[in-house]
Structure 1
Amino acid sequence: MTLAGLSLAYLRDRALNTALNVLLLTLGVATMVILVLFSAQLGQRFQRDAEGIDLVVGAKGSPLQLILSSIYQVDAPVGNIPLETVRTLRADPTVGQVIPLALGDSFRGYRIVGTEPAYIAHYGGELAAGRGWSRPFEAVIGAEVARRTGAEVGQKFIGSHGLAGGEGGHEHAETPFTVVGVLAPTGTVADRLILTSVESVWDVHGIDHDQHEDEHGHEAEPAHPHEAAHGPRAGALNASTAQGHAEPEVTALLIKYRSPLAAVRLPSFINKQTSLQAAAPAVEITRLLSLVGVGLDAVRGFAVLLILTSGLSIFVGLYTALRHREGDLAMLRVMGASPAAIFGQILLEGVLLAAAGAILGLLVGHGVVAVAGSSFAQLRDMGLSAMRFEPAEALIVLAALAMGGLAALIPAARVFGVDIADTLAHAR
């Protein structure tokens, strides 16, 4: 029998102790893997989706909620802002680009967003099939929407009132949409959105935008009048309609600066308005990650404690087992095994335990992430994927193996102090 086979035989002989050691290490490694996947993918998604957006303008309320609802599409909008805000900001010489968004409805949990073609261009979107919208009630769907719903070019669908899940809300059966294009995967929030013109959003909610355009003139309209992104959040729109003054509104504006001067004067100018607020994505996301980081650090500390406890358990188990098998070790010496070979065999036991725990920990960690991503829409919307492997996971595995080797080091070193004759004499 080889030394590796002997190590496996000894581990099987202590099956309960082996299982407990592996379980402890599995839980510790799995927890660390979950934290790595969650923090790395969340941070990457936050950075990727907010890249190139300097400011978000919306209704008064929570700045973080404004960022989450407008950029990441994972929260309810804070309200609506006047359509005149679009024209005012586009006329500002320090503003390079204004992309309005209109939210309110969804289809099978995927948001229908009224916007401009510039929104697709911002995220580097390219059509994998079909074309862009050119008339009301035409829509371009993201790659994930197409994959999960099975929607194809030419298919019609009916939007539902609300953003939470698209189930149970009032369906706008009288205004169906037609899919005219499917985007290629971008790895951004655009993958899970249904994009259309804001005229469509207005028409779905009964907004007379033609009359509004006549009242305000055409000289200040954007270059794409049929795709100008104005639109109310569904709940606020209904309230406005009930009061008899359903005016075209926007949910939020994504701003890109043309001049550094805009960063100095624009946020304060907007925040002084009674109905508007400006939120910087970089500031709000840094604040969010710092708050989340406190909880992650606590869980990470618990995971490290589990791993260290597992290492201590491996040490105690091997040390105790070695005292009971001193006769076996002496016989191996008599049969010609060198002290170094026996030392390596005991060390291998610790490494094998650590390897089993590390591999199971990886599998359990990715499995938990897969279940969480499929069970919670918010995590799925943030792009949490169990199929991605982070470089830090390799470090976790190496650390677990090193800990297994260190835990076995002291018990293995006792081999060099064993007196063969005395051990065999006592064994009789």
Structure 2
Amino acid sequence: MPRLNAFALALKSLRHKPLTTAVNLLLMAVGVAMMSFVLSASQQLEDNALRDAQGIDLVVGAKGSPLQLILSSVYHVDIPTGNIPLAAQAQLQQNRLVKKVIPLALGDSFKGFRIVGTTTEYVAHYGGEIAQGKMFDGPMQAVLGAHAAATTGLTAGSRFVGSHGLGGNGDSDGHGDQPFEVVGVLRPTGSVLDRLVLTPVESVWQVHEAAHGIDPNDEEAKEAMDADRELTSLLIQYASPLAAAMLPRAVNAQPELQAAQPAFESAKLFRMLGVGVDVLRGIAAIMLLSAALSMFVALYSALEERKTDLAILRTLGAPPRKLLSLLLVEGLLLAGAGAVLGWLAGHAALEILGRLVSDDRGLSLTGLHVAPAEAWLVPVALAVGLAAALLPALRAYLTDIATTLSR
């Protein structure tokens, strides 16, 4: 079969110069690996961000940076901008433009996992379901997300002490006299919920009031504190499209409140990150171009060395198209093998990175995810190999038998 012969000859030719073949494979693989890594990672990060912000139209918090408010209240990767009066929740709940208000009270953590004072409505918003134990129904009870529970080793019935901020370990810098009791663990949701420790808002108030020497059983002192209760932020869902035009402006007009829109702030963040992604894509494109040039030089040099061999093949009856196909198959083999190796290497690197950073940074990355944009990587690599082999293949096609053998 002619195709089989061309394929076999191309393989023998590539094995004849292993170092040159290896360099060309490496260049192609590096370019494809970088492109595959960037496409898959950026797609996953964007999908994760959109999933965590889904169904949250507005975040209301203290004055400050809107992006910081979104990062702290939606993604839980930054410190809050401050606190807002508890009265703001009732005010927004009474607004006809508002469908749902979910309160958040932040400030403490356990072994790097944020303790979030909220309601069961927050769990329901992300589709959380109890895998072990029950949902919290009173102060100082806690329900852990799947990842937080797996990492800390806490189960239903365990007790722990929270720490100030996000960096404590729950021991020396914690609220030792106000331990939490774990009453439940959630099933994995693939959202920010997996990385949180959830408790009623009253728990957060009780912990910090105790830190200021206020007895939680003292009803008189408790009533005095009610007027000064605070929350960190409120997650808002609109009741109608009209709310998008009116509510943020109304909230921002109040001296203590700020309204931030997750969709707008996330888009701004993606634009900022997009510059770095574009740079990496550019570097990957340069690597692919370098692979094409290296492949072209290698095939052209091989053609010059094998002119006599190719001429002899012609005298033995090989038609010109056979020589043309031989060089084209070599280019396609190099490009195809390099593309496959690069694609596998890119996803392997992404899997390693995901395992290294997911626990500490709250990122969810896996090498098993294939971005739709990756579908063109192999065809582009094959086109690069074909283009690199085209000129040497045409020269082989036009080889003059008499002139070549006379030399």
Match of residue 202, structure 1, among 202, 205, 208: 205
What residue ranges of structure 1 are gaps of 5+ in the alignment?
Answer: 218-245
Aligned twin of 2:309: 328
CA 1:391–1:377: 2 relative to 1, 3 Å: closer
Where do residues 169-184 of structure 1 align in structure 2 (5 Å cutoff)? 170-184=173-187
Offset of 1:323 from its aligned partner?
Answer: 1.0
1:291 deviation in Å?
2.1
Answer yes or no: is 1:214 the counterpart of 2:223. Answer: yes
The separation in 2 between residues aligned to 1:351 and 1:371, in whole angstroms, is: 30
Partner of 1:248: 229
Q: Specify the SS of the correspondent of 2:77.
A: coil
Say if 2:275 is the partner of 1:294: yes
Q: Cα distance, 1:32 vs. partner?
A: 1.3
Q: Deviations over 1:312-365 (max 9, x none)?
A: 221121112111111222333344544333332322221222123222322332
**1:272 and 2:253 aligned:** yes
Q: Which residue of 2 aligns with 1:227?
A: none
CA distance in 1, matches of 2:8, 2:176: 69
What are the within-5 Å matches in structure 2 for residues 32-47 of structure 1?
32-47=35-50
CA distance in 2, matches of 1:260, 1:213: 40
Is residue 2:70 matched to residue 1:67? Answer: yes
| Cα distance change, pair 181–331 in 1 and its aligned pair in 2 (3 A) | farther
Separation in 2, partners of 1:176, 1:21:
61
- Residues 1:54 and 2:57 aligned together: yes
**Amino acid in structure 2 at the alignment position of 1:369:** L
Moved more, 375-384 or 58-67: 375-384
User: Which moved further from structure 2: 133-142 or 314-323?
Assistant: 133-142
SS at 1:275's partner residue? Answer: coil
Structure 2 CA distance, aligned partners of 1:142 and 1:313? 51
Cα distance change, pair 164–352 in 1 and its aligned pair in 2 (3 A): farther
Partner of 1:343: 324
Superposed, which structure 2 residues align to 1:126-137 within 5 Å? Answer: 126-137=129-140
SS at 2:209 equivalent? coil
* Structure 1 residue 402: Cα displacement: 1.9
Report 1:26-425 matches (<5 A). 26-164=29-167, 166=169, 170-206=173-209, 214-215=223-224, 247-376=228-357, 380-425=361-406
**Displacement after TM superposition at 1:103 (Å):** 1.4
Distance 1:19 1:162, change over 3 A: same
Secondary structure of 1:187's counterpart equals: coil
Structure 2 vs 1, CA of residues 30 and 211 (structure 1 numbering), >3 Å: closer, same or farther? farther
Could you tell me how far apart the structure 2 residues matched to 1:172 and 1:155 are?
Answer: 16
CA distance in structure 2 between the aligned counterparts of 1:27 and 1:168, rounded to whole angstroms: 46
Q: Which amino acid letter does the alignment assign opposite residue 180 of structure 1?
A: V
Q: Call closer, same or farther: CA 1:341–1:251 in 2, change over 3 Å.
A: same
Aligned counterparts of 2:113 and 2:368: Cα–Cα separation in 1: 22
Backbone CA RMSD of aligned residues? 2.6
Q: Is the 8 A contact 1:161 1:169 kept in 2?
A: no
Shift of residue 189, structure 1, vs aligned partner: 1.0
Instruction: Please state how far the C-alpha of 1:259 moved relative to its aligned partner.
Output: 3.2
Deviation at 1:130, TM superposition (A): 2.0
Q: Distance in 2 between matches of 1:415 and 1:216?
A: 90
The one-letter code matched in structure 1 to 2:75 is Y
Q: Which is worse superposed, 23-32 or 92-101?
A: 23-32
Question: By how many angstroms is 1:247 displaced?
Answer: 4.3
Asked whether the 8 Å contact 1:114–1:198 carries over to 2, the reply is: yes
Distance apart, 1:377 and its partner CA = 5.6
Amino acid at match of 2:104: L
**Residue 48 of structure 1 contacts residue 188 of structure 1 at CA under 8 Å; is this kept in 2?**
yes
Match of 1:229 in 2: none
**1: CA distance between counterparts of 2:404 and 2:171?**
77
Between the aligned partners of 1:11 and 1:191, the Cα distance in structure 2 is: 50
Q: Identical aligned pairs, as a percentage? A: 51
In structure 2, distance between residues paired with 1:195 and 1:346: 64
Aligned partners of 2:162 and 2:170 also within 8 Å: no
Aligned equivalents of 1:147, 1:351: Cα separation in 2:
47
SS in 2 for 1:206: helix
After TM superposition, give the deviation of residue 168 of structure 1 in Å. 8.2
Per-residue CA shift, 1:176-197, capped at 9, x if unaligned?
3232222222221112111111
Query: Cα–Cα, structure 1 residues 368 and 46, in superposed 2: closer, same or farther, change >3 Å?
Result: same
Q: Spell out, residue by residue over 1:131-162, the C-alpha distance to the aligned partner (whole angstroms, 9 max, x if none).
A: 10122222222122233334333333332222
Alignment partners' CA distance in 1, 2:295 and 2:170: 51
The amino acid of 2:305's aligned partner reads H
SS of residue matched to 2:248: helix
Q: Which amino acid aligns with 1:301?
A: G
> When the two structures are aligned, how many residues end up with a matched partner?
398
